[in-house]
A and B are shown apart, each in its own frame.
Chain A
């Protein structure tokens, strides 16, 4: 259980996290979603007692992280993948961490096997690929067998197989009753992993709801209708209270579901050539939600063409 209450962090004049409150419950995967620079990592650093909040508080299992006698046995965290000394072996990296929290040395080899790094345990981590570094980071998070697991951008640098592995791992950890808090800037990844979603943009919470609720609230849907009798069908649907937008030879209908449209048109004897429920993707929904809060956005192609002329 993670409790974030009115958490604020300012760096000089810049407010990175702005009065954020939410709860991460055990037994499910909570996704922490936001564009780059939204305040995800800052929030996670405050959660781990690394950065001091300007105001507000964050507690893990009822107390501040700094007050935990053996924090690695309570909260396992994957920080940025390269928080490693390149000259140290994977086993030694885990061994000093284990020693600091009195975790038995046997557990080091256990987690190395768990993340599939046992074959390279004695190799200096400077030679690791980004994906291998990420696996070692996950081994660090699992070292203390903690009831709370915090993963900051865990799929960064992983190949598709690795991404699926992290996804399965997160779901399994949650199924075991642990609190799992995963940050990402990829909506598509969250859609497959998270049960609950906390969306942050420019340091503020934009959404805090279950995944199905998020989809219902933010992923717009409409019914696509194709008919040779555009005029009469439009009039009919509008009369029934629907919002109809003609587009080429299609009609986009909102306010009536596909079944209602089909029955209405069928009763009058008019013809339909297509009747489809169209959902905009979650990625689109996320983009729409955070559009106003993206810190750095790319210029469009036409702008670039204009600039280079």
Chain B
């Protein structure tokens, strides 16, 4: 590495400010967009999301098509056409967590808040970049999985048309649920500020505790289970859910969205007051 000669290091005029207009929310958004896409982990997670979501859907449909077409089948093909997305959701959680905790892990949050002291803007821009990306990526992946998986189902004569009940909704719903999960993970990340802690908390809550909650006894147990974020939010992402006890797609998603926004509000209050 060479060093610039001392005599040529500074040729700045103190009375000249760097030209430019007053930055607004669009500047913060652009900044967060550059930040989000300029690390490899984002590209890798996005690729993994697509490969897992579309690839596993195709694989699961391919291996189950014959059984589904047989008289022994006790599941609907509609449960299988977005089945790979369940695994892709893990990468959405990873992306959401890292978008926040990577800044705390490296101390970069201080550079961020020194550049944009309006913390609400920082959080809003982060949330928009994350949810926008995950919604588009989730929807595209769900469509890819549908076309790949349906090819195998079609061969057995049990294919689903895009116009069939709930199919198109489950494609867009996959994008919505991905975006919601990412935002949920980001909010948890903002609260705990540690990658490992945030990741394990969200993954455990959504994928383990949610399933185990169905073991709870009585009516309150049943409703606790139904209202768990993963259980309430996931029906929108499948034409026919595997679990018949889950809430209906749109009411369930409304519950999930409310939970995510409530957690995000708590995270925002903490973030706005806390020392960086």
Contacts and interface: CB of A to CB of B under 8 A. Distances in A.
B1 interface: yes
Contact of A144 (B4, B18, B27, B41): B18
A85 B17 contact: no
Contacts of B118: 66
Contact of A145 (B12, B117, B276): B12
A252 interface: no
A71 B114 contact: yes
Contact of A87 (B9, B28, B41): B41
Contacts of B21: 102
Contact of B107 (A82, A96, A103): A82
A136 to B, nearest CB: 11
A64 B56 CA distance: 53
B212 interface: no
B110 A45 contact: yes
B34 A72 contact: no
Nearest to B42: A87
Interface string A8-22: 000000000000000
B13 interface: yes
A89 B34 CA distance: 11
B117 A71 contact: yes
Contact of A99 (B2, B22, B30): B30
The 10 residue pairs across chains A and B that have the minimum distance between CB atoms: A100-B31, A92-B38, A51-B275, A50-B276, A102-B20, A96-B34, A99-B31, A83-B107, A66-B117, A100-B115
26 contacts: A49-B117, A50-B114, A50-B276, A69-B22, A71-B117, A73-B17, A79-B107, A83-B111, A84-B107, A88-B35, A88-B38, A92-B38, A95-B34, A96-B38, A97-B31, A99-B34, A100-B31, A102-B20, A102-B21, A104-B19, A114-B9, A114-B10, A162-B3, A165-B6, A169-B9, A176-B14
Given A104-B18, A114-B9, 5 more contacts: A48-B110, A88-B38, A100-B28, A102-B21, A102-B23
Interface of A: 45, 48-52, 65-66, 68-73, 77, 79-80, 82-89, 92-93, 95-97, 99-104, 107, 113-117, 119-120, 132, 140, 142, 144-145, 147, 161-162, 164-165, 168-169, 172-173, 176-178
